[in-house]
Amino acid sequence: MSSTVRTRLRLAGALAAVLVAAGIAGGPAAQAHEKPRTTLADLAQRHGRYFGSATDNPELTDTAYTRILGSEFDMITPGNGMKWYATEPQQGVFDWTKGDEIVNLARANHQKVRAHTLVWHSQLPGWLTGREWTADELRAVLKNHIQTEVRHYRGKVYAWDVVNEAFNEDGTYRETVFYKTLGPGYIADALRWAHQADPRAKLYLNDYNIEAVGPKSDAYYRLAKELKAQGVPLHGIGLQAHLALQYGYPTTLEDNLRRFARLRLDTALTEVDIRMLLPATEEKLAQQAEWYGDLTEACLAVRRCVGITVWDYTDKYSWIPAFFPGQGAALPWDEQLAPKPAYTAIREALG
């Protein structure tokens, strides 16, 4: 099948989905004989995978949004509610309100939770960034934060992004407060502490721009190999997959997933969105759809790629426009919660 034909089919499928959702197509007689529609989660489960979405607390008051969130996906990631600034706003004073809200919603909808994130250089509370620490002091602070949070959610989450974005683009370590004070060993320590607090949770390292084979993903490969050799409890690598049409598709993605699998590590596409320069056009949406389909097929091709999470499912709540002015339309549903060609492409890839 030519790419042109595939694109036309995807556009037609997406239009049909929009019309049905809007009640324009499929009259009462037809609908009475329809089987319940399979969701992305249903389709992914047939392959032994999950299909998830991130979410955040402010949008949970949007009932139309939560209806889709609760039915289409089987894995949820809290976008911000489990980060350090939210969970330990004052030293030793913990607040689980936002994280608990999302965990409770997921449990009510029979969904699992990918917990995000324990150690990151960003969104840290002022009490942590506003002073100098000795190595002993910071080590104690880090251990207490990790173990207190992981114990709180013990048995309630499927996996943790333990350390997030530890490397620069050239494969050198990012100069975070943790690296500068504790050295690279903080990563192994963080994994060990998290494992002690919840031995059943899957533990991941997570980063962006590591989808393709290159200096940054090579750094993770070397680190993962070292950690495995040392017996450190690392179970997976999270490839965020924040992509942009103008920068090209990571054509070595499948090869990259396979080499981590050879280390006996799971992989997951953890924060998927595919942004474009606005305005969105039919051609850009078709290209985006093809990329979403290709990402899905790459994960399905590698047994240890366990699932895919989109970084929220709708353009209505995407982080992209605020951080990349003039860009957006990055997700499989539009701002009106209608499915786009990307949604149809994902379904086809999973089908």
To 5 degrees, how large is the angle CA 322–CA 295–CA 342? 60
pLDDT at 37: 84
For position 90, what pLDDT does the model report?
98
132 classed as catalytic: no
What pLDDT does residue 133 have?
A: 98
Q: Is residue 154 part of a domain?
A: yes
Q: Is the dihedral of CA 332, 337, 339, 343 positive or negative?
A: positive
Q: Based on the structure, what is the number of domains in the chain?
A: 1
Token reading at 146: 């990790």
CB 334 within 8 A of CB 31: no
Task: Tell me if 110 is assigned to some domain.
Answer: yes
Residue 23 within a domain: no
Q: Catalytic annotation on 165?
A: yes
Active-site residue (options: 149, 211, 271, 348): 271
Catalytic residue among 165, 211, 290, 348: 165
Is 308 among the domain residues? yes
Identity of residue 214 = G
Is 5 a member of any domain? no
Provide the sign of the torsion angle of the four alpha carbons 336, 73, 84, 63, taken in this order. positive
Nearest to 155 by CA among 205, 95, 199, 97: 199
**pLDDT recorded at residue 26:** 38
- Residue 20 has a pLDDT of 37
> Is residue 35 in a domain?
no
pLDDT along the chain (351 residues), means of 10: 43 43 37 64 98 98 98 98 98 98 98 98 98 98 98 98 98 98 98 98 98 98 98 98 98 98 98 98 98 98 98 98 98 98 98 92
Its domain, for residue 102, covers 40-350
